[in-house]
Amino acid sequence: MMKKFVLASILVFAFTSSAFAAVRTVTLSVPGMYCAVCPITVKKALEKVPGVTRVNVSFEKKEAVVTFDDAKTTIRALEDATFEAGYESAVKAEKAK
């Protein structure tokens, strides 16, 4: 009886854990963008991060607005992606969805 209860609990948790995931939108400040090609590089780097669903990069504002699934990635992973592409970034704002 106890084995069935434990197994049922594990299955319920496995199928509901994704219910805790949320789509989040964050604005990253990317001050190192200095030319018209920079936003393209930043966008491509962010789009490669698993869980990212949308990226808008503005050269004029020197920022990237990223929508992502927080069950698949983190803000730190987004910052790391821009850093690996040659551009430091930091959270400017976050909007809940």
**Cβ distance 52 to 46 under 8 Å?**
yes
In a domain, 47, yes or no: yes
Q: Tell me whether residue 9 is in a domain.
A: no
Instruction: Give 69-88 pLDDT, tens digit per residue.
Output: 999 999 999 999 999 999 99
14 sits in which H/E element:
helix 2-16
Q: What is the pLDDT of residue 91?
A: 96
On whether residue 15 sits in a domain, the answer given is: no
- Kindly report, residue by residue over 40-62, the tens digit of the pLDDT: 999 999 999 999 999 999 999 99
Domain extent for 40:
21-96
Q: Is a pLDDT exceeding 90 seen at residue 33?
A: yes
CA 26 to chain centre: 8
Residue 6 belongs to a domain: no
* Amino acid 87: pLDDT: 97
pLDDT digits over 12-32, tens only? 454 544 556 799 999 999 999
Q: CATH number for the domain including 42?
A: 3.30.70.100
Residue 3 is assigned to a structural domain of this protein: no
